C-alpha cells in the first residue's frame, strides 16, 4: 500500500535532496525561477489587497484581512506546482550544507541568484499592474500606500524579527509539502502556514519587494529607493534568512539527520 505521507525523518531527507538539487542548479536558471516566483507573489499580493480593501468597506476590518489572507497562498501554490523559486523557500538549502552534501559557496550563490530574480520579477509585475491601471481606484491606491508606508516605518529590529517569524511559517509550510505524497495533501500542508503569516502581518521579503515597488510607482514621492532598502528590504532579508536559512535547517538537521557520533 502506498503511503499517503512521510514521517519526520523521511520528510527531512526529502528536503535535503531538494537542497542538493537547488544548490547544484545553474545561477542563471535560479535567477529565472526566482523571476517567476517574484511574479507569482506579486499577483498574489494584488489579490490580497483587492479582497481586503473591497470587503473592508462593508465588513469588519479583521474579517476583510482574514479573507485577503485566504487568497494569498495561491502565489505559493503557483511556485510549488508550476515552477518558481523564492528566497524564503530556498533558504532551506542550508540543510544541505549541514549534511555536507553541498558547499557554503553553492548555497550562498543560490540565495543571491534567487533574491535578485525575485526582485526583478516583483518590479516587472508591479510595472505591469501599474500599466494595467489596477491601482487607479482610490481604495486600491490608499490601501497600497498605507501598507508600504507601514513597512518603511518599521524599526530595523521590528523588520528583522517580523521577518524571522514570517519565514518560520513559510519555510515550514514548504517543508510540510514534502510530508504529503499527493497534490491535495501538499496544498493543504502549505496553505495554512502561509495564510497564518499573511494574516499576522509578518514581513516576507518577496511580498515586500512587490508592494514597495508598486507603491513607489503610484506615488513617486512616498519614499526614496534607498529608504525602502535600508528601512525594510535589508532587515527583512536578514530576518527571513536567520529563521528559514539557519534556525529551521539547523534544528531539524540536529533532530532527524545528525549522526549520534557527530
Convert the pLDDT of each residue in 8-49 to its tens digit. Answer: 999 999 999 999 999 999 999 999 999 999 999 999 999 999
Backbone φ, ψ for residue 5 (5° rounding): -155, 160
Residue 119 pLDDT more than 60? yes
The separation between the first and the last C-alpha atoms of the chain, rounded to the nearest angstrom, is: 35
pLDDT band at 64 (very low <50, low <70, confident <90, very high): confident
Query: Per-residue pLDDT tens for 201-251?
Result: 999 999 999 999 999 999 999 999 999 999 999 999 999 999 999 999 999
Q: Which stretch of DSSP H or E encloses residue 40? A: helix 27-56
Which residues, in sequence order, are CB contacts of 183 under 8 Å at separation 6+? Answer: 81
Alpha helices per DSSP H over the chain: 8-23, 27-56, 61-71, 73-78, 87-90, 94-98, 104-131, 138-152, 156-177, 183-200, 205-218, 225-228, 234-240, 248-256
Q: Which domains does the chain have, with CATH numbers?
A: 8-256 (1.20.1080.10)
**Residue written as grid cell 518560520:** 168
3-state secondary structure (DSSP) of residue 259:
coil
- Measuring CA to CA, which residue among 229, 187, 214, 222 is closest to residue 79? 187
Amino acid at each position: 500500500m502506498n503511503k499517503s505521507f512521510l514521517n519526520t525523518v523521511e520528510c527531512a531527507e526529502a528536503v535535503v535532496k531538494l537542497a542538493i538539487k537547488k544548490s547544484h542548479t545553474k545561477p542563471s536558471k535560479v535567477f529565472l525561477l526566482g523571476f517567476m516566483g517574484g511574479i507569482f507573489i506579486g499577483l498574489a499580493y494584488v489579490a490580497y489587497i483587492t479582497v481586503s480593501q473591497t470587503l473592508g468597506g462593508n465588513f469588519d476590518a479583521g474579517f476583510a484581512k482574514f479573507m485577503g489572507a485566504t487568497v494569498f497562498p495561491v502565489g505559493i501554490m503557483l511556485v510549488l506546482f508550476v515552477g518558481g523559486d523564492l528566497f524564503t523557500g530556498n533558504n532551506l538549502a542550508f540543510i544541505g550544507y549541514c549534511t555536507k552534501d553541498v558547499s557554503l559557496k553553492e548555497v550562498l550563490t543560490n540565495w543571491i541568484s534567487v533574491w535578485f530574480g525575485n526582485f526583478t520579477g516583483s518590479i516587472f509585475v508591479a510595472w505591469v499592474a501599474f500599466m494595467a491601471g489596477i491601482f487607479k481606484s482610490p481604495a486600491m491606491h490608499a490601501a497600497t500606500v498605507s501598507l508600504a508606508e507601514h513597512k518603511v516605518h518599521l524599526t530595523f529590529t521590528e523588520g528583522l524579527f517580523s521577518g524571522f517569524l514570517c519565514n518560520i511559517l513559510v519555510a515550514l509550510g514548504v517543508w510540510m509539502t514534502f510530508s504529503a505524497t499527493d497534490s491535495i495533501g501538499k496544498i493543504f500542508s502549505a496553505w495554512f502556514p502561509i495564510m497564518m503569516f499573511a494574516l499576522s502581518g509578518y514581513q516576507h521579503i518577496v511580498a515586500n519587494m512587490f508592494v514597495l515597488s508598486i507603491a513607489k510607482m503610484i506615488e513617486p514621492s512616498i519614499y526614496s529607493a534607498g529608504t525602502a532598502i535600508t528601512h525594510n528590504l535589508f532587515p527583512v532579508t536578514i530576518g527571513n534568512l536567520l529563521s528559514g536559512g539557519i534556525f529551521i535547517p539547523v534544528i531539524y538537521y540536529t533532530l532527524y539527520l545528525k549522526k549520534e557520533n557527530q
